Structure 1
Amino acid sequence: MHTIAVLALDDVIPFDLATPVQTFGFTRTPDGGPAYRVLVCGTATVRTETFTMHPHRGLDALAEADTIIVPGHDNHGAPTPPEVLDALRAAGARGTRIASICVGAFILAETGLLDGLRATTHWLAAAELAARHPKVDVDPNVLYVDNGQFLTSAGAAAGLDMCLHLVRRDRGSSVAADTARLSVMPLEREGGQAQFIVADQPALPRGTELEPLLRWLSDNASTDLTLADIATHAGMSTRTLNRRFREQTGTTPLSWLHRERVRHAQYLLENTTHPIDRIASEVGFGSPTAFRERFRRVVGTNPNSYRAAFATNS
């Protein structure tokens, strides 16, 4: 079983600590069994402003982990204990997957493991991370960055986005979607941190003017819809529709529609033996070539490779 080690140090941010523990703890395989073994490890006593805890395991647990999660810490400007940095470097050298949440990226950057790589952190701390670690390519506009072995995420809920992304990488979109439902969280959010930086630019809540349109788009994603069709259904001009869509979702109507089609295609690839051309047609793409190009752009691999990795009937 895949072992997740969550690192707890003094001044750990409670939300960042709980997010991976709960998310990976929720995750179940198709037969109902646990998908992950989750360990919380750290020093003998971990102190924060609001609680004191005693992790069940010490830093030795990092050596047996398949994935290490580094939560953020309130005092992210303080130097990390050398034994922690050494343990993370050793894990990186072994090929262990390591991911940070929020300002946990400062600890990961301190190890040198992010040098030469693109990374992110909470947008309020991004400039500081870039100044302190100039070898790291800091992108403040994204929810998370996946470099393969090393991942970083932005603040708060973006850690949940990244954890769900890891579940999908490991177990496929059906298992990840089940975990997302238990977390009352969409499996994938469009846009990045840029949509949250402006104070009056909230994430899309239930009950907004676009919620009925998004439901309609989801229900009709397999039909041949143009931007004009969507605007007509919404009772707006195409220009107004594009503007409001970007304001409230961080993307365009057609991009949202394409990603919805790709998500449906992932389900069909995992749960049916339909030929790729048939799936392309069923989910609403005009040609198999267009489907393959969009699928690779969204998922990062081709439909055949995705099916080989995640098909439940293989």
Structure 2
Amino acid sequence: MADSRRRVSLKDLAQELGVSIATVSRALRSSPEIGKEMQQRVKDLAQRLNYRPNPFARSLRRESPRVIGVVMPNLVSHYYAAVLDGIEDEAAKAGYSVISANSHEDFAAEARAIDNFISLHVEGIVACLAQDTTDYSHFEELAAMGIPLVFCGRTCLPDRFSSVTANGDEAARQATQHLIDTGSRRIAFIGGPNHLDMVRRRKHGYLEALRDNRIAIDRTLVACDRIDYNVAMKAVGQMLARPDRPDAILAFNDTITFAAFAAIKHMGLSIPDEVALIGFTDDAHAAYVTPRLSAIVDQSHLMGVTACRMLLRNIAGDKAVCREVVPQQLVIRETSAKRRDLL
């Protein structure tokens, strides 16, 4: 039963009746796709629970600006802020405004954001999965309702939705190869949750480089856990405390990269002579630490632009499921080369 203290949503009606949000939405519109009996059940429940369509949503359907929704895992980070910036720039060119939501890497917050976007009748959505998300039913609801959705960065349901990703596998392979070429041999990979496709791609590239160079894979040098500064710092500290510690680290993203950087410093080890480091992170932060950080840099603004263009094509009626890859760039600075004569 819906909580009487808050506005009743389409989702509340759907849960009460045991049907999809799409069915409720269509029934309230008296769509011929829904039988008369179900239409009446939905309308009766809506009246009993005092369901009121969102007036802002109605205004969006009648008037400009047209609106798309964006949900990102961490809008405080430069990467996701730059992706959002790219989406907003491209949306503005097409006469759209953007409503953004921060999931804070939390599944429940992500699902609420999608539900809110549905209630607001946005014309389409760009999403990047929260690290906690393993249930994709809230995205499947969008497909059932015909609401266009494009994934950016972290993706799921590749047969159902278009996506824009980076070439993380190839970038990780190049970075690992650079570490090998400049003297590292015990190279660790510090990643996020294994169910994220972005983690799997980057770990795959790292492992491929080790195999290509006939370096034995040591599973104790692979730590994939939560994307969290303290969790990553603890994992790196434990590795570095071992007598057979790693002599290089490839870090999955900016949070993990700077946690690894801090852990190496905390252990009193020199970078790169004792432990080399390359991280997937944004170029601005990487250039202003000492030593300056070798980094795998995303074209994050371009990823946002590309995702928005794909979404606008979907909104215009193009139903094709597309996948585009925006390449990353390996920028070599001071933290990665043990033997600078090999550069």
Q: Which has the higher Rg, Structure 1 or Structure 2? A: 2
Length-normalised TM-score, structure 1: 0.30
- When normalised by structure 2's length, the TM-score is 0.28
Choose between structure 1 and 2 for higher RCO, CA contacts under 8 A separated by at least 6 residues: 2
